[in-house]
Amino acid sequence: MFVENVGNLICPSQFDLGETFKLAVVSTSEGDDKPGKYSMLFREARAVLLNKIGLIPYTNFNFDSFSSDLKKINAQIPLFEISCTRGDGLDGWFKWIEDQILVYPDLA
């Protein structure tokens, strides 16, 4: 089961809802400042999904800045660059989720 919190990225990191782990899902259209702005979420997240990567050429999103800030906060976190509309990067994300089921059998 996924528990989604839309809007404010601070709330999902401050409250324990009994989840096995947290994921950070952000889109390029929201800006590259999210790791620095919401560091608690990115510190606690098990993985980051960066959606709408196809829009990068049409925005002021700086991938290098985003990635650098993310690694300063959580050097080991996997970053999945995805486009849900085009399907880019989804295979890697799906494989990661399958691997988590092996690590956390209660997820199945």
Q: Is the pLDDT of residue 12 over 60?
A: no
The predicted model scores a pTM of 0.84
Digit-coded pLDDT (tens) for 39-71: 988 998 999 999 999 999 999 999 999 999 999
Q: Is the pLDDT of residue 27 over 90?
A: yes
DSSP secondary structure of 5-56:
--S-SSHHHH---S-S-EEEEEEGGG-TTHHHHTHHHHHHEEEEEEE-GGGG
- What are the structural domains of the chain? 18-107 (3.40.50.300)
| Mean pLDDT value across residues 16-20 | 70
- Mean of all residue pLDDT scores within the chain: 86
